[in-house]
Structure 1
């Protein structure tokens, strides 16, 4: 039996699971605290069943300070196999990288993350992350 595609929409944002383990996030517009709460709920729902690769399309979204704080406080490394950010401007990438560094400093975060320009590059980054995980498990 084929696994059903799961999807979530809230505001102008959209998330869907591509079986077996890629969760695609497309932000459309600013990410507010209520959006960050919903994203974390979805990450927890999916990640508590099986870890996933998050493929996050930034678009023109800006994440509000309280939304960033909420995500940093509630994200759990065990939910993720890896994270790949697609697109975004220099500010968005700097903010995202700063969030990743802050999580690494806590010592609780070991999730590999990449930032790329295109969907094709994102898919290739996920393949590299998978290969790296398999090689390190061997």
Structure 2
């Protein structure tokens, strides 16, 4: 079983919580270099299985155009079971949906993957949502 791991990318902290949650706490703007490092980390984490991405956006502005474009061009929706965004403002929500729309328009996913984006207010709500989504998945498999 995978163990807990942590990374720092500029002012941003990333923590893998076994078995399948990648917590990202964004603090301040995300540079293109940090976006590239995040995509590499997401891809690495997805090699064992898709994960829940829980991104805390409460202390970060909306992505700059270059970082947004990089994420839209390189993030693969198949890497995640769900994206859960904490404290997203309207502009954050538009960017999150736009990244998946870019993947759809480029043929990398079908439109149903847009349902992978979820928005909550607190880390506790994010944890509760992960538990509900896991239960739904188990029910579908059983």
Please give the range of the TM-score, normalised by the shorter of the 2 chains: 0.7 to 0.9
The answer for the alignment partner of 2:137 in structure 1 is 133
Question: Is residue 2:116 matched to residue 1:112?
Answer: yes
Q: What are structure 2's unaligned runs of at least 5 residues?
A: none
CA RMSD of superposed structures (Å): 1.9
- Secondary structure class of the residue paired with 2:27: coil
- Match 1:121 to one of 115, 125, 128: 125
The CA distance in 1 between the partners of 2:2 and 2:92, in whole Å, is: 34
Q: What are structure 1's unaligned runs of at least 5 residues?
A: none
Structure 2 length-normalised TM: 0.85
The answer for the alignment partner of 1:74 in structure 2 is 74
Mean CA deviation greater in 108-117 or 60-69:
108-117
The answer for the alignment partner of 2:20 in structure 1 is 21
Question: Is residue 2:11 matched to residue 1:12?
Answer: yes
The CA distance in 2 between the partners of 1:95 and 1:17, in whole Å, is: 24
The CA distance in 2 between the partners of 1:38 and 1:58, in whole Å, is: 18
The answer for the alignment partner of 2:98 in structure 1 is 98
Give the conservation status (yes or no) of the 8 Å contact 2:84–2:126.
Answer: yes
- Secondary structure class of the residue paired with 2:39: helix
Mean CA deviation greater in 9-18 or 65-74:
65-74
CA displacement at 1:49 relative to structure 2: 1.9
CA displacement at 1:93 relative to structure 2: 2.1
The CA distance in 2 between the partners of 1:131 and 1:66, in whole Å, is: 37
